Each structure stands twice: as structure tokens, then as C-alpha cells.
Amino acid sequence: MTISVPKSLNALNSAVLTEMGQFIDTVDCKRFRCMIITGDGEKSFVAGADISEMSTLDPAGGMAFGRRGADVFRKIETLPIPVIAAVGGYALGGGCELALACDIRICSDNAKFGQPEVGLGIIPGFSGTMRLPRVVGMGMAKQLIYSAETIKADEALRIGLVNAIVSREQLMEEALRIANRIAANAPIAVAAAKRCINAEFDLDADKGIDFENKEFGQCFATNDQKEGMKAFLQKGKYEYRGE
Ligand code: DAK
């Protein structure tokens, strides 16, 4: 999915958010095994929520706008296939939050990340206050959000906000390399692993262990598990079918 709003460095307005939600609803997760989200152009992934649209909002309008974005980002987070953010350039505000809703983040060496919202009199409104601390830890998240400071790719890598930095030219190549690695594995198992990792974050240890145990057991109901293990024991390779 490529976000393309050339006049505003791919800022997210209501129409774009609606279109993103509709597009995600149509993704056939039985056919496709991974999704990559990127921004159009060299300069920006997403330069935030659309400031000109937000400038006219009242509290109820702000809540509705925030909810629209939060719902789309939650769809990404709970999509049955992994989602990779390929961040080329600015990932500010809602752009950083979009990357945070993805499972995996990689970026180009010209990428810049930040949550500039408090410098505009608002707070991160697409679940950034929730997801940023989960990814980089409470202390660093608080510093980034309170200071509205923008950080470069190498600092994003250092604090664990991204998994890798590559050149702008290699960005999609690297995203596709990771996607292809994922796509070669048993898709039902990958989806189960995603459900577990997401759910366990909110559960205590005993409930988390139970959740994983159930999902683990269910894997043994799949043909992919049987064929994959048989192929391993026979020193062969099985092409997973998602069944
Ligand atoms: N919104 C609207 N337009 C934007 C934009 C944005 N976020 N970012 C850039 N643009 C527009 C610029 O206005 C400019 O338009 P023209 O002047 O050409 O018409 C064009 O894109 C090119 O930008 P610049 O001329 O500024 O380009 P530069 O290279 O000089 O600077 C920049 C690039 C990314 C550093 C700069 O544009 C910038 O600082 N942009 C704003 C970044 C930002 O602050 N983003 C965070 C937005 S706040 C909530 C819901 C949602 C949110 C919060 C709360 N609730 C409901 C509670 C989310 C908030 C945000 O995301």
C-alpha cells in the first residue's frame, strides 16, 4: 500500500484514511502473505496527520478524526498477515504512529522520526501514546513525545524504533526480501504467532502462556504442519499452502 498525497508530503487527511481502511478491508489474506506500507516519493513516508484539516476541528471533530485514524491503524495491527513499514523520509506524527502500527519497521538513511504534536497544541492521536512506549520503552517515548524532537535514522535504530537502515534505493528491495522470507513460511502459523505476540502484550504471564498454548495446539490441526514436518524429516522442502 503506497500512501500518495504529493501536495502535503503524504499527510493523512480524512479521505486518505477512509481509502486506507477500505483498501485494507479488501486485502485477501489467504492469497497475500505479507503487506508492505510505504510512502510515495523520495522525501516522505507520511508527514503526519493533515494539519490544515485539523486546524478547523472542535473537540468532537478532533475525537472523530482521531478515531478514524486509530481504527484504520488497529486494522493494520490486527491484519492476519504481517505488515512491514518501509519508511523512506519523514515519519512524523501520524506517520510515526502508522509505522508503529506495523509489525516490522525498516527505513532509509534519510528517514526522520518524531511525534511533533505537542508543538502544535495536540497529542499523538492515532494511538502513539500507547504504541511508542511499547516499542522504545516508557522513558524514551516520554522524551520523544514531550520534547517533540525529530530523530534521524541512526538514532531510531539505536532505540529500537526500526529494525534496519538501508539506502533509499534499497528500501523496497529490503522490504520485499523480508516479506519473501515471511511468505515462505506456513501462513496459518505466522498469523497465529502474530495473534499471540499482540495478545500477550496485554495479558499476565499465566494467561499469555495459556493463549500461546491454545494457538500452538491449533497448529497441529493444519495440513501445513503435517507436510512441513514430514518434508523436514525426509530432508525435503514443502511449499506451504495455508491449509
Ligand atoms: N499536514 C498538512 N500539510 C503538510 C504536512 C502536514 N502534516 N506536512 C507537510 N505539509 C505540506 C506543507 O504545508 C507544504 O505545503 P505547501 O506550502 O507546499 O502548500 C508541503 O507539504 C511541503 O512541506 P514543506 O514545504 O514544509 O517541506 P519541508 O521539506 O520544508 O519540510 C517537514 C518538511 C515534514 C519537516 C515539514 O513539512 C513539517 O514539519 N511538516 C509537519 C510535520 C508535522 O508536524 N507532522 C505532525 C502532524 S500532527 C489526534 C489525531 C491525530 C493526531 C493527533 C491528535 N486527536 C484526534 C487527538 C496526529 C497529529 C499529527 O500527525
Ligand 1 centroid vs 14 CA: distance in angstroms?
15
Task: Please tell me the residue having the least CA distance from ligand 1 atom 53.
Answer: 125
Q: How big is the CA angle at 185 (ends 181 and 187), to the nearest 5 degrees?
A: 120
pLDDT in tens, 54-81: 999 999 999 999 999 999 999 999 999 9
pLDDT in tens, 1-56: 999 999 999 999 999 999 999 999 999 999 999 999 999 999 999 999 999 999 99
- Provide the residue ranges of all domains of the chain, joining segments of one domain with +: 2-183, 187-233
Task: Clarify whether 19 is annotated catalytic.
Answer: no
Strands 35-39 and 2-3: parallel
Q: pTM value?
A: 0.95
The residue among 126 and 210 whose pLDDT is bigger is: 210
- Is residue 159 over pLDDT 90? yes
CATH for the 187-233 domain, from 1.10.357.10, 3.40.50.2300, 1.20.140.10, 1.10.12.10: 1.10.12.10
- Is residue 240 over pLDDT 90? yes
Task: Clarify whether 97 is annotated catalytic.
Answer: yes
Q: Is 65 in the pocket of ligand 1 (CB under 6 A)?
A: yes
Atom of ligand 1 nearest to the CA of 51: 1
- Tell me the average pLDDT across 144-170: 98
* 208 touches 199 (CB < 8 A): yes
Q: How big is the CA angle at 85 (ends 124 and 177), to the nearest 5 degrees?
A: 165
Q: Is 8 in the pocket of ligand 1 (CB under 6 A)?
A: yes
DSSP state of 202: T
What superfamily in CATH does domain 2-183 come from? 2-enoyl-CoA Hydratase; Chain A, domain 1 (3.90.226.10)
- Amino acid letter for position 233: L
pLDDT in tens, 160-182: 999 999 999 999 999 999 999 99
Q: Which secondary-structure segment (H or E) carries 112?
A: strand 112-114
